[in-house]
Amino acid sequence: MLNVSNGAVSPSGSRWLVFMTVLAVYICMIDRIAISIAIIPMAEDNGWSPTVQGAVMSAFFLGYVTLQIPAGYLSDRFGGKWVLGLGVLFWSLFTLLTPASAALGITVLLACRFLMGVAEAVTWPSIYSLYSRWVHPDRRASAVGLMNSGISGGAVIALICTPWLISVWSWQGAFYLYGVLGILWFAVWAPLARSRPADKTDWDMAEAVLATAEAGSGADQNDVSAQPVYPRLTVRGMLRSRAVWAIAIAHICINWSLYLVLSWFPTFINRELGADLQLAGFLALAPTIVSLIMAPLAGRLFDRLVTKGHDRLKVRRIMQSLAFVGITAAMMAITLTDSLILSVTVITLSNALTAFSIGGFATNHLDIAPNQSGLLMGVTNTLAAVSSSASVFVSGWIQDLSGGWDAVFLTAAGVSVFGAVIYGCLSGVEREFD
């Protein structure tokens, strides 16, 4: 329920809900990334070529882009509890079925991975929809920061635990264990979670009540007829909104560099800087671990600055600028050194600054479309997923074309500069949609 006292609105159960959604993100990333390790023994057992291995890993992302927008709409319309819950349940079942599908043939496995991607597509849109109803506006960046830490945390767990599980059990056993984790999560979530507080009072209503009380108008606090009427989020509305363009382009540009590092950095330090595979894998964890730590800190910093009276738009623009500056500087610096340690250091520092996006575009969705933040996240995350895939492919193409890595990193720097300029010029924090 919502309690209004001393100018604060606090939904009971919000901490539990944030904890469970963070845990869901951890499970999501573990299940998603485990295949990147397990594919090695899977290919050996089945005699798969590199082309087949690439198809297995990419099938997930084909499914991932299909359901984000519908998931956002369904979460905003009917509630995020069951959209997220069923998403976790089904992707966990497909994780469990991965060994059996591989045994049945490559076509069945590709279908399984595709459907797993479809199920995981609901994660971010549904969580944003839940946060818009459960988390106070003054604490949303902190919640999103914690949730995003699960991206890095899940990746770290998968990269460390999966090789160990394969060595002591089997690659099949790793998928069985990870699948069971998600089913256990659903068993807790389904009976206890709710899509919104029990009284079904949304944050707009609560804030209107507070505003009326603070103004001392003497009006009936249940009368919110004076509230502005905001339009629904439509394609036309999004295309005409400067703030939506700013969020979408920032999301696209951040993901370009993020997935460049996740996908190609181990290869770069192995082939270009001479690290052996084991060392390359170990060093590649450093940027991910830093992101795990920095994401919740950046979210909390944003909330504190705004709570203390700093202008919300200025804080968002400054924090997002820091993220893009970090990426640009790192991408340019890495072209100027052949040092393994220095290269890892600059990428790690870049990831630390990239975490400030939590106070930038990452929570900006909740400003401009609080009741349809799930749908808006679905739209921008779909575009960002396309950018992620394009980044991995184009970076490989640039390597073939140029015969080196400098052009790859300089391209990423250029993308980041573009994102910084667009977000700095177009971003906004005023509510535009319902």
Three-state SS annotation for 128-153? HHHHHHHCCHHHHHHHHHHHHHHHHH
3-state secondary structure of 8: strand
Alpha-carbon dihedral 277, 28, 412, 373, rounded to 10 degrees: -170
308: how many CB neighbours lie within 10 A of its CB? Answer: 7
Token pair belonging to 219? 């009006």
Q: What is the torsional sign of CA 287, 244, 196, 301?
A: positive
Tell me if the pTM is above 0.95.
Answer: no
| Distance, CA of 27 to CA of 157 (rounded, Å) | 10
What are the φ and ψ backbone dihedral angles of 200, each rounded to 5 degrees? 60, 25
What are the φ and ψ backbone dihedral angles of 11, each rounded to 5 degrees? -80, 125
338: how many CB neighbours lie within 10 A of its CB? Answer: 10
As to burial, measured by CB atoms within 10 angstroms (0-12 exposed, 13-18 middle, 19+ buried), residue 1 is exposed
50: how many CB neighbours lie within 10 A of its CB? Answer: 8
All structural domains of the chain, each given as residue ranges with its CATH number in brackets, are 12-192 (1.20.1250.20), 234-426 (1.20.1250.20)
- Of 154, 155, 174, 150, which is closest to residue 40 (Cα–Cα)? 174
| Distance, CA of 222 to CA of 208 (rounded, Å) | 9
- The answer to whether residues 247 and 255 touch, using CB atoms and an 8 Å cutoff, is no
Report CA 246 to chain centroid distance, whole Å. Answer: 17
pLDDT tens, the chain, 434 aa long: 334 333 333 344 788 999 999 999 999 999 988 887 787 788 888 888 767 777 787 788 888 888 899 999 999 988 899 999 999 999 999 999 999 999 999 999 999 999 999 999 999 999 999 998 898 888 999 999 999 899 889 988 988 888 889 889 998 999 999 999 999 999 999 999 998 887 554 544 544 444 344 444 444 445 545 567 888 889 999 999 999 999 999 999 999 998 888 777 877 887 788 877 667 767 778 888 898 899 999 999 999 999 999 999 999 999 999 999 999 999 999 999 888 889 889 989 998 999 999 999 999 999 999 889 999 999 999 999 888 888 878 888 888 888 888 999 999 999 999 999 999 999 999 999 98
420: how many CB neighbours lie within 10 A of its CB? Answer: 23
